[in-house]
Amino acid sequence: MAIAKAERLMNLALCLLGTRRPLSKRELRESIEAYLEAGSDDSFNRMFERDKDDLRELGLVIETVENLDGEVGYLARRDSNRLPPITLDAEEAAALGLAAKVWQQARLAGAASGALQKLRAAGLPEAVDPYEPHGALEPRIPVHEAAFEPLMLACRDRRPVTFDYRKASAARPGPRHVEPWALECWRGHWYLAGWDRDRGAERVFRLSRITGKVRARSGRYTAEVPDVVTVRETVASWAGDITDRSARIRLRAGSGYPLRARAASVRELGDGWDELEIPYGHGLDAWLVEFGPDVVVLEPAELRADVVDRLRAVAKG
């Protein structure tokens, strides 16, 4: 909708909602600048009738009555144009409160605050007020990454983006051209799911590994957006949370506590090394690389080869 028309419709709606008596076409024309500039009476009448129909299509209830002078008048009674009472159960209210915590840290903080004020006035339970602490344990969703807001807007508007991304096994970031689908928080980190144009496949990106600015691009998506985007399941799989095998590794004593927490068994080998048996799933090789010389993979052979390849790639970078 053109800005001029949107402004004209808004002005007409405000006039109809703000009056205590029906207003004639003449009075409305004198009150709205765009109607004064319409030119002839025929042009104004056509414009007014279109605008009135558009407002009714948008849901505004406009009454047509005769005023005291015998002219046809128009008004939109406030009691006829109120939204129905908002009823939220405890889970819905809690979800809104938690979502507001996210918007507090982005550009939508003002809009979120205003929306919640209206919801509270309509009966939002005070116990889920996101701006008031309610005990020692309070759910939080951090949004510290600068990439969050531009990616959130790109997902909403279905706009392709470009950014530089540093993989866990790479020494330097590389450019990515992505059609963003959805953002999701998992274990305190935000992830983006989308279509990687360069690789021609679905990919998930951790926002903390995006470097520099996220730039929106023009043009349409080239891949179909799935009905369900399983960001969390994909990340869990890549992180090794979905496991079907076991791996044996040597770990330097006094190091690798996250690995020890996952281990099914730990055995001291002496000479400053321990042997661990840990669940093995997709993505374990990338995780083990982060521990550098403190980890040696014993088996399976394919896992050892993957770790060696990643370490060589880092060394070459």
Q: How confident is the model at residue 128 (pLDDT cuts 50, 70, 90)?
A: very low
pLDDT for 82-122, tens place per residue? 766 666 666 776 666 656 555 555 554 455 455 555 555 55
Segment 191-220, tens digit of pLDDT: 898 999 999 988 889 898 999 899 999 888
* Residue 62 forms part of a structural domain: yes
Tens-digit pLDDT profile for residues 47-73: 999 999 989 888 889 998 876 577 889
Residue 264 within any structural domain of the chain = yes
Q: What percent of the chain has pLDDT over 90?
A: 21
My answer on whether 157 and 218 are in the same domain is: yes
- Residue 153 belongs to some domain of the structure: yes
* The pLDDT of residue 131: 43
Residue 204: HSE in the Cβ half-sphere, 13 Å Cα cutoff: 19
* Chain mean pLDDT for the chain: 79
Q: Tell me: cis bond preceding 300? Omega within 30 of 0 counts.
A: yes
Q: Please state, in angstroms and rounded to a whole number, the distance separating the CA atoms of residues 35 and 197.
A: 49
Per-residue pLDDT, 257: 84
* Cβ-contact 205, 178 below 8 angstroms: yes
Give the separation between CA 134 and CA 101, rounded to whole angstroms: 14
Is 231 part of any domain? yes
Task: State residue 118's pLDDT score.
Answer: 54
**Residue 85, in any domain of the structure:** no
CATH of the domain at 217: 2.30.30
Q: How many residues does this entry show for the chain?
A: 317
Question: Over the stretch 214-248, which tens digit does the pLDDT of each residue have?
Answer: 999 988 899 998 887 777 666 665 554 556 678 99
Q: 311 pLDDT band (50/70/90 cuts)?
A: confident
Least Cα distance to 174 among 205, 152, 195, 201 occurs for 205
Give residue 267's pLDDT: 93
- State the total domains in the chain: 4
3-state secondary structure the chain: CCHHHHHHHHHHHHHHHHCCCCEEHHHHHHHCHHHHCCCCHHHHHHHHHHHHHHHHHCCCCCEEEECCCCCEEEECCHHHCCCCCCCCCHHHHHHHHHHHHHHHCCCCHHHHHHHHHHHHHCCCCHHHCCCCCCCCCCCCCCCCCCCHHHHHHHHHHCCCEEEEECCCCCCCCEEEEEEEEEEEEECCEEEEEEEECCCCEEEEEEHHHEEEEEEECCCCCCCCCCCCCCHHHHHHHHCCCCEEEEEEEEEECCCCHHHHHHCCEEEEEECCEEEEEEEEECCHHHHHHCCHHHEEEEECHHHHHHHHHHHHHHHHC
Q: Are residues 158 and 117 in the same domain?
A: no
Q: Are residues 203 and 158 in the same domain?
A: yes
Statement to judge: residues 72 and 122 lie in one domain: no
**Domain of residue 39, CATH code:** 1.10.10.10
Task: Establish if 142 belongs to a structural domain.
Answer: no
State CA 107 to chain mean position distance: 12
Structural domain boundaries enclosing 26? 3-80
Residue 220 lies in a domain: yes
User: What pLDDT shows up at residue 262?
Assistant: 82
Q: Is residue 52 part of a domain?
A: yes
